Structure 1
Amino acid sequence: MKKATLCLALAAVLGLAGCQSTSTDSAMSTSASSVTQDQAFSQFSAQFIEDLWKQHPEASSWAGYGKYDDIITVPDDASRASNRAFVDAQLAKLRTFNLDTLSNANKIDYHLIENSLLESIWEDEKFKSYEWDPSSYNVAYGFANILNSRFKSLDEKFNLVLARLQYVPAYYAAAKANIKKPTLEFTQLAIAQNQGAFSVLTDELLSQLAETKLSADDKMLFKTRFVEAKAAINDYIDFLTKLESNLAKNGDARSFRIGEALYEEKFAFDIQSGYTAKQMYEKALADKARVTAEMIKITDTLWSKYFPNTTRPANDTQAISSLIKHLSVQHVNRNDFVDEIKKQIPTLEKFVIDKDLINLDPEKPLVVRETPEYMRGFAGASISPPGPYDKKENTYYNVSPLDGMSDEQAESYLREYNHWILQILNIHEAVPGHYTQLVYSNESPSLIKSLFSNGAMVEGWAVYTERMMLEEGYGDFEPEMWLMYYKWNLRVICNTILDYSIHVNGMTKEQGLDLLMNGAFQEQAEAEGKWRRATLSQVQLTSYYSGYREIYDFRESQKQKLGTEFNLKNFHEEFLSFGSAPVKYIKQLMH
């Protein structure tokens, strides 16, 4: 069969197909046409990516492409018009292909490209976050990518920084012109994160400049542009600070709630699930009840161990909460938080290797670091992976230190990330969660699947690995670990309930904190942080639960289907081999 397909492919390429019109030849002609379509689509995909990088040089820098690292796009009307022309042209080319004639792998790439292009139109014409999200304007990321590179020389770095600096004043002038009635929350985030830009564009760069081989003229130009860039950032911060004051005083800021219509549309683009946002919300409500029931069972088992002389409260929520609060005092010292995370990574790696759960690549290093200042204020922990063109660069595990917290806030935060949950966090963010998945994603034979990553698959995989590791014996099946896992899983479920309820149902902050603290047993500091995050994002919080649900259910169906032939490691490696594609498409390929 493979040899026959190869012959047909060669015939199609060389134009050697026969002219007979028998039914057999007709079938061969159709098959040959299919091969030609796949080859043509592969060529289109490759050219599409090249054209995409020209259109969006910042995105190419993130991917590690390198060719356009010296450019910053000025986000003005001209650039938006140029992007719309690009999108229209690419959509027209894409739709010359007949989906029915493409291979399954190429069908997925078709859908991913189409989704990205259509979302770009929707963002520009309907959502328009560039008008109300000032935090979307920040030059620090691009400069940090260059300066943090392990493979660029000092001269290469400074030449690229010199080129990029020239765009900064015009960039922020366009940003100011774009802002129209922003949300107060995004305005405050933008101020903090742009102040963090000076942790990248530090005066230390001027000291290092003397060590480079740049010409005297270029060094002088560097200093001039550096001063102008810092002035532009400060001017933007001043502009936002005045804007923040007016918004708070006049009460005319845009609401961070986007409403049901926009929420459903954004959910469809971002999650690419077979469910609507409302259906996923309803599934989450049902799972919340199921997980709570499991926590009740464990509480009944552990109560006498920790409270031998106290009668268990009749109220289940009160009993679970009492046990969790009792256990949560076991946590690291606030000053050891980042160091403890560093210590746990080798333990997780050893467990994965010993249990033969998935291969880990020792040549793709994971570096635990304090979250850079320009990235703080959104999440306490995150992963910054290299792009598919820059696979050997470090993956950074960003952990926000607790320096800015009061003793009370830090204690609340540490009780949330207690002895057991800190381990689950590291599974999620590092091994075998985000870090491992993103290393595999960069190895996908399809750049489209690696580049147009599906957030629900990426987050869903990380959530899936938490349960999988415990099922395989991590934590020695300790009921305390399972109780904390369910608490953690409950927050994933409640992320979906919270996000939908806030943006669609008008949930108040008091109701949100009640859901998280009394319904999901979270500490106040964590609940406050999650509320803030929900005001600074839309739909993204649902990605964890929706992706996890699809992946876990698919694995269980494969177990049932394959019986004794099912191998967990094989499932993991095949699943991850398709890059960060939507789960519904990976399922099609694996079937």
Structure 2
Amino acid sequence: MKAHLSLLLLLASLGACERQQVDRERLPPPEKVILEEMRSETNLAFEQLCQQFIHGLWNLFPSWALSEGYYEVAKELQVPDKSYREFVLDFAQIYERKFAALDKSQLNINSRSNLALIENFLQRLQWQYTRFKSYQWDPSIYNVSHSFALILNTDYAPLLKRLHTVSTRMLQVPEYYQAAKAAIYRPAAPQLELAIQQSTGSLEVFGEELEKTVKESQMPADAKEIFLRRMHDSRLAIQSYIHFLQNLQKKLTKSGKFRDFRIGEKLYEEKFQFDINIGMSAAELYQRAIIEKQLTHDKMTKLADQLWPKYFPSDSPPNEPLVKIEKLLNKLSQYHATKDTFKKKVEQQIPELAEFVAEKNLLSLDKEKPLVVRTTPAYMQGFAVASINAPGPYHKNANTYYNVMPIETYSDQRAESLLREYNDYILQILNIHEAIPGHYTQLVYANQSPSILKTILGNTAMIEGWAVYAERMMLDAGYGNFSPELWLMYYKWNLRTITNTILDYEVQVKGISQAEAMKLMVRDAFQQQAEAEGKWRRATLSQVQLTSYFAGFTDILALREEIKKKMGNNFNLKGFHEMFLSYGSAPIPIIRELMLADLAKQGNKFQ
């Protein structure tokens, strides 16, 4: 109740502020407020309101705040009950009115771009709680482990202080899971299965290692006793939640009354507009992906014709292009790491990629920002083979983690299938995508952006699109010495980007079956069985996110060509990349508007 009381006081103060009119006479006249550009009274009021908004945001979503490196609210764990959801809606509605009261015509271009992000966020928040209602049917969203792990594993404060913070935060864990159980109504089967898997993994965060850390710490004996009791209660709460989910799973399996994980066309289009934001509909992007798939097949056919005599000198090539491509891909896929060397190979390639980026002068890399390759924590497993956990703008120098699934623990059959998928060629492209100059690099740049809003309200299509763009950019720059083998594998990998959009739309909107989805991925996109099975599961667990790769990639390429044409001889790749990344993780249409405005001010040159 303490957390809810603080929210009540926050909303009360917001309401009071909302009733007050801005005293324009007390604000300095616009002509006197000149820094780098004109700042009107409205811009000043907007900046102040943004600060209030961010402060309120972190009080409302303390776990999100931790992921952004903001630890002032680390002791808080909001209980996701009905009253909390009402607080969230009140917050969104109040701020929507407050921002709407500003005169947009008086805002400078940077403020307008921030306002667009805020408006999209507030509208999406209301949609999430009143229309989408995933809090009812997706039990996997209820998991406290990640935020506790961040506190324990990030050296933002001395260990003793962090342990006291964890102890205080654990007080709310039993109530948190009680609220979660009360909120869940007729969940979807894939989300229920993921919740059981990840909640079981989350017990590790409150396990023997933490108990040992506490016992060996300098905490007073009574504080240790309290901590261990609260840790025990937290484990019981998670175990009770798992038991609740397992019973629910048995009941719904017997009755067959799971919620359909497919959200349908209307909700899908709405979610697409909030999440992707590229100025076209999901249906239009889907049609573009269908065309691009055929174009990519054509490019792969030409490379297959070139490579066939080298790898099959005694055999005539098949007449069917897809069969010919598949045979070559299978041949090249034999070259891969073992179960025990996969993670080591990932680690070895990172400095090689950094060296190439520096040699080709593609970007400036910050060598002081640590990147740690680790096994994906148990509470995060079950979604992707590899992923990045980056620190937020409030704690820029913390470690970035490159998570790699524990392939060494898989059965030989499953491991072999994944290792063939992530063979020696594809693994290089994966590391470009996830690390350098992909996600890791982009998120380091995002943390340097002068606009925190453009980082914390990041756009999925921009983030994923940049990582996909980085793959093509590196190969275009000569990475791999223009090897036709690497290019053939790149197009296979790029087919995954294209097929992600087709798959997601056809699963969620058109309702295709698992068998049809597997055919699309295995036959048309040449994916290994294990990879395709994992992607099917992912398409049932998420919606729209899989389209972000293709959407962002095509938009970034189009923007680069537009800027290149506009600048002529003044254009250079490094300048484009660094300017593009300087705007945080804003949607690409917003970045385009800002880039064109800044280039005009700079005389159509990169600084």
What TM-score bracket applies, with the shorter chain setting the length? Answer: over 0.9
**In the alignment, what sits opposite 1:481?**
486
From 408, 411, 417, give the equivalent of 1:406.
411
Report the AA paired with residue 398 of structure 1. Answer: N
Q: Is the 8 A contact 2:30 2:38 kept in 1?
A: no
Superposed displacement of residue 585, structure 1: 0.6
Residue 277 of structure 2, aligned match among 269, 272, 275: 272
Q: Please tell me the residue identity of whatever aligns with 2:86.
A: A
Aligned residue in 2 for 1:115:
120
Cα displacement string for residues 30-73 of structure 1 (whole angstroms, at most 9, x for unaligned residues) = xx996222222112112211111112111111111111101111
Return 5+ residue gaps in structure 1 as ranges.
Answer: 1-10, 19-27
Change (3 A) 1:193 1:360: same
CA distance in 2, matches of 1:56, 1:448: 15
d(CA) in 2 for partners of 1:33 and 1:313? 67
Maintained 8 Å contact 2:393/2:452: yes
2:72 is paired with a residue whose SS is: coil
Provide, for residues 435-455 of structure 1, a one-character-per-residue CA deviation record: whole Å limited to 9, x for no partner. 000000011100100100000
Taking a change above 3 Å as real, the CA distance of residues 212 and 297 of structure 1, as seen in their structure-2 partners, is same
**Amino acid aligned to 2:263:** I
Name the amino acid aligned to 1:307.
F
- Does the Cα contact within 8 Å between 2:264 and 2:508 map onto a contact in 1? yes
Partner Cα distance (2:56, 2:246) in 1: 38
1:468 aligns with 2:444: no
Q: What is the CA RMSD across the aligned residues, in angstroms?
A: 1.8
For the Cα contact (< 8 Å) 2:77–2:169, is it kept in 1?
Answer: yes
Matched AA of 2:271: K
Map of 2:601 onto structure 1 = none
Alignment of 1:334-483 (within 5 A): 334-483=339-488
> What amino acid does structure 2 have at the position aligned with 1:303?
W
> Aligned residues, how many?
571
> Quick check: 2:137–2:186 contact (8 Å CA) kept in 1?
yes
Question: Which residue number in structure 2 is paired with residue 5 of structure 1?
Answer: none
1:12–1:33 CA contact under 8 A, matched in 2:
no
| Partner of residue 500 from structure 2, selected from 484, 495, 499 | 495
Deviation at 1:221, TM superposition (A): 1.2
Alignment partner for residue 77 of structure 2, among 53, 72, 78? 72
Query: Matches of 1:371 and 1:187 in 2, distance apart?
Result: 20
Secondary structure at 2:340's aligned position in 1? Answer: helix
Q: TM-score, with normalisation over the residues of structure 1?
A: 0.94
The equivalent position to 1:307 in structure 2, one of 309, 312, 318, is: 312
SS at match of 2:402: strand
1:157 alignment partner in structure 2: 162
1:572 to 570, 577, 580: 577
Taking every aligned residue pair, what percent have the same amino acid on both sides? Answer: 48
TM-score (norm 2): 0.92
421 and 16 in structure 1: CA distance in 2 versus 1, 3 angstrom threshold: closer
How big is each residue's C-alpha offset from its partner over 1:416-437, in whole Å with a ceiling of 9 and x where there is no partner? 1111000000000000000000
Out of 400-409 and 454-463, give the one that drifted further.
400-409
Letter in 2 for 1:241: Q
Offset of residue 139 of structure 1: 0.8
Aligned equivalent of 1:295: 300
Match runs of 1:137-156 below 5 Å: 137-156=142-161
> Structure 1 CA distance, aligned partners of 2:534 and 2:276?
23
Once the 2 structures are TM-superposed, how far is the Cα of residue 17 of structure 1 from its aligned partner?
6.8
- Paired amino acid for 1:14: P
In structure 2, relative to structure 1, the CA distance for the partners of 1:575 and 1:249 (3 Å cut) is same
**Which residue in 1 is equivalent to 2:28?**
14
Deviations 1:302-342 (A, max 9, x none): 11111111111110011111111111101111111111100
Q: Deviations over 1:354-412 (max 9, x none)?
A: 11110111111100000000000001100000011010100000000113422111111
Deviation at 1:16, TM superposition (A): 8.8
Supply the distance in 1 between the matched residues of 2:276 and 2:430 (Cα, whole angstroms).
Answer: 22
Paired with 2:550 and 2:213, the residues of 1 have a C-alpha distance of: 46
CA pair 247-412 structure 1, distance change in 2 beyond 3 A: same
Q: Secondary structure at the match of 1:396?
A: strand
496, 509, 512: which one aligns with 1:507: 512
Deviation, structure 1 residue 204 = 2.7
For 1:74, give the aligned amino acid. Answer: V
Cα distance in 1 for residues equivalent to 2:402 and 2:464:
15
Structure 2 residue aligned with 1:252: 257
Inter-partner Cα distance in structure 1 for 2:495 and 2:225: 57
Please give the alpha-carbon distance, in whole angstroms, between the structure 1 residues aligned to 2:274 and 2:30: 43
Cα 1:33–1:458 shift into 2, 3 Å: closer
Moved more, 507-516 or 49-58: 49-58
Alignment of 1:127-276 (within 5 A): 127-276=132-281
**Which residue does the alignment assign to 1:4?**
none
Query: Does residue 330 of structure 2 align to residue 325 of structure 1?
Result: yes
Output the CA distance in 2 between the equivalents of 1:101 and 1:16. 10
1:544 maps to 2:549:
yes
Structure-2 residue corresponding to 1:49 = 54
| CA shift for structure 1 position 85 | 1.1
Q: How far 1:15 moved relative to its partner?
A: 4.0
| 1:534 to 2:539 alignment | yes
Q: Structure 1 residue 236: deviation in Å?
A: 0.3
Query: Which amino acid in 2 is paired with 1:91?
Result: E
Matches of 2:369 and 2:174 in 1, distance apart? 37
Partner SS for 1:291: helix
The gaps in structure 2 that reach 5 residues or longer are 1-24, 597-607
AA in 2 matched with 1:442: N
Question: Matched residues in 2 for 1:328 and 1:412: separation?
Answer: 10
CA drift at 1:560: 2.0
2: CA distance, partners of 1:527 / 1:56: 35
Question: 1:545 and 1:503 mapped to 2: Cα distance?
Answer: 17
Which AA in structure 2 matches 1:381?
A: A
Give SS of 2:408's match: coil
